[in-house]
């Protein structure tokens, strides 16, 4: 059993370069064909030991007031899931206090909660000295949410099934994004429900990964990737938040390499041709309608990483 003083893990936000959504199955889940990219915008989760059976958290940083600090916090749920996997002998001794520092917009379609859950899994595993392997952590992650395994993995990856069956995607170079964070937020389940409503009665083909998108990733050509970006949820997000349409039009007027709503929105991801172009777009879009913050991030970046392993003490 480890006796570290604290462990800090950094977890990236994601953009879905493609998000194709099929007909919901009997269990309500939608089959997906998605291509994730982890980008350089991070939350940090620090785990410190607490008495056995104690699971608490505090949240600071951007949008912290929108994040629950009780047992519904995804990072707390992750810690509890790890305890359940630790077995009956060890479990009663395990407890943790989690400090979450947020940079990823909350309810913005960039998987901030999932990032915190993935970070908490890795931080608690290390803090408690459980040493689960990646496959075990990934299984636990999938049980917490479809985007959680990708946050552990990072990079650029194809996600099938619920988005949790991951395969790293080949790609060349770095991609430069400008992220337009909305003043509004959208609930992911509400966006899926809206998609189902808008497509009711339509015959849907099984979602497939886009070959032009995969080729564009391999080419390193921003304009090719921009042309191949696709998100089935965009239409539904715009239907729930019509001002998003105005924002997308406004962005297109500035001729980016590409633009799409990130995941379930409402953050809008703007692809630039290169770093310099991203800097110019960020300035030009600073007063875009309905936008609270303009951020820049490049991808792909690593998945969850331990940035401070704390100090290991002597086992009691
Ligand atoms: P996704 O892109 O995975 O669909 P999202 O980025 O749109 O998700 P999140 O930021 O993950 O949305 O937040 C979704 C909801 O989850 C929020 O309304 C928030 O109250 C709740 N939540 C619970 N725990 C967390 C957490 N650690 N960080 C952010 N939100 C959390």
Query: Does pLDDT of 316 surpass 60?
Result: no
Mean pLDDT of 246-253: 97
Query: Does pLDDT of 287 surpass 50?
Result: yes
Q: Which residues line ligand 1 (CB under 6 A)?
A: 66-68, 72-75, 100, 106-114, 116, 147, 188, 263-264
| Ligand 1: nearest atom to the Cα of 117 | 27
Ligand 1 atom 21 nearest Cα: 67
Mean pLDDT of 297-309: 96
Mean pLDDT of 53-74: 95
Query: Does pLDDT of 2 surpass 90?
Result: no
Tell me: the pLDDT tens digits for 79-94?
A: 999 999 988 888 899 9
Mean pLDDT of 92-120: 96
For residue 36, give both structure tokens. Answer: 């994730």
Mean pLDDT of 165-186: 94
**pLDDT tier for residue 313 given thresholds of 50, 70 and 90:** low
- Going from the N-terminus, what domains does the chain have, and what CATH number goes with each? 3-168 (3.30.230.10), 175-299 (3.30.70.890)
Mean pLDDT of 228-246: 97
pLDDT of residue 314: 52
Query: Does pLDDT of 295 surpass 80?
Result: yes
Residues 110, 82 contacting (CB under 8 angstroms) = no
Ligand 1 atom 16 nearest Cα: 113
pLDDT of residue 310: 86
Mean pLDDT of 85-106: 93
Distance (Å) from CA 241 to ligand 1 centroid: 18
| Ligand 1: nearest atom to the Cα of 116 | 27
Distance (Å) from CA 111 to ligand 1 centroid: 7
pLDDT above 70 covers a percentage of the chain that reads 98
Residues 15, 115 contacting (CB under 8 angstroms) = no
Distance, in Å, from the CA atom of 154 to the CA atom of 138, rounded to the nearest integer, reads 12
Tell me: the pLDDT tens digits for 119-151?
A: 999 999 999 999 999 999 999 999 999 999 999
Distance, in Å, from the CA atom of 98 to the CA atom of 114, rounded to the nearest integer, reads 15
Helix (H, G, I), strand (E, B) or coil at 122: helix
| H or E segment to which residue 170 belongs | none
| Ligand 1: nearest atom to the Cα of 107 | 12
| Ligand 1: nearest atom to the Cα of 104 | 10
Residue 113: partners with Cβ closer than 8 Å, 6 or more residues away? 67, 74, 106, 145
Mean pLDDT of 4-33: 95
State the chain's maximal CA–CA distance in angstroms: 64
Query: Does pLDDT of 202 surpass 80?
Result: yes
**pLDDT tier for residue 28 given thresholds of 50, 70 and 90:** confident
Choose which residue among 112, 194, 295 to substitute to test ligand 1 binding: the one with the highest number of ligand atoms within 8 A of its C-beta. Answer: 112
Q: Which residues are designated catalytic? A: 14, 147
Q: Higher model confidence: residue 173 or residue 196?
A: 196
Q: DSSP per residue over 254-299, as a string?
A: T--SEEEE-TTSS-EEEEESSHHHHHHHHHHTTT-TTEEEEEEEEE
Average pLDDT, the chain: 95
Distance (Å) from CA 112 to ligand 1 centroid: 6
Mean pLDDT of 32-36: 97
């Amino acid at each position: 059993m480890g006796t570290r003083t604290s462990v800090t893990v950094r977890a990236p936000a994601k953009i879905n370069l493609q998000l194709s959504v099929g007909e919901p199955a009997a269990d309500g889940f939608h089959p997906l064909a998605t291509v994730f990219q982890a980008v350089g915008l991070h939350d940090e989760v620090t785990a410190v030991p607490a008495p056995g059976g104690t699971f608490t958290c505090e949240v600071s940083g951007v949008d912290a007031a929108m994040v629950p600090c009780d047992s519904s916090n995804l990072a707390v749920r992750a810690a509890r899931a790890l305890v359940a996997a630790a077995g009956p002998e060890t479990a009663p001794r395990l407890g943790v206090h989690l400090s979450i520092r947020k940079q990823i917009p909350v309810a913005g379609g960039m998987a901030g909660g999932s990032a915190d859950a993935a970070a908490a899994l890795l931080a608690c595993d290390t803090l408690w000295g459980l040493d689960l392997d990646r496959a075990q952590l990934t299984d636990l992650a999938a049980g917490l949410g479809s985007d959680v395994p990708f946050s552990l993995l990072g990079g650029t990856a194809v996600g099938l099934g619920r988005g949790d069956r991951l395969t790293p995607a080949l790609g060349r170079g770095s991609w430069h994004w400008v992220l337009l964070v909305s003043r509004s937020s959208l609930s992911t389940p509400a966006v899926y429900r809206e998609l189902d409503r808008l497509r009711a009665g339509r015959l849907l083909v099984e979602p497939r990964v886009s070959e032009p998108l995969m080729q564009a990733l391999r080419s390193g050509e921003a304009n090719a990737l921009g042309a191949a970006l696709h998100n089935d949820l965009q239409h539904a997000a715009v239907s729930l938040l019509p001002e998003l349409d105005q924002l997308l039009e406004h962005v297109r007027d500035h001729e980016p390499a590409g633009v799409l709503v990130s995941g379930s929105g409402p953050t809008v991801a703007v692809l630039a041709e290169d770093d310099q172009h991203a800097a110019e777009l960020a300035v030009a879009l600073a007063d875009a309608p309905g936008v609270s913050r303009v951020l820049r991030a490049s991808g792909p970046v690593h998945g969850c990483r331990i940035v401070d392993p704390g100090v290991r003490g002597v086992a009691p």
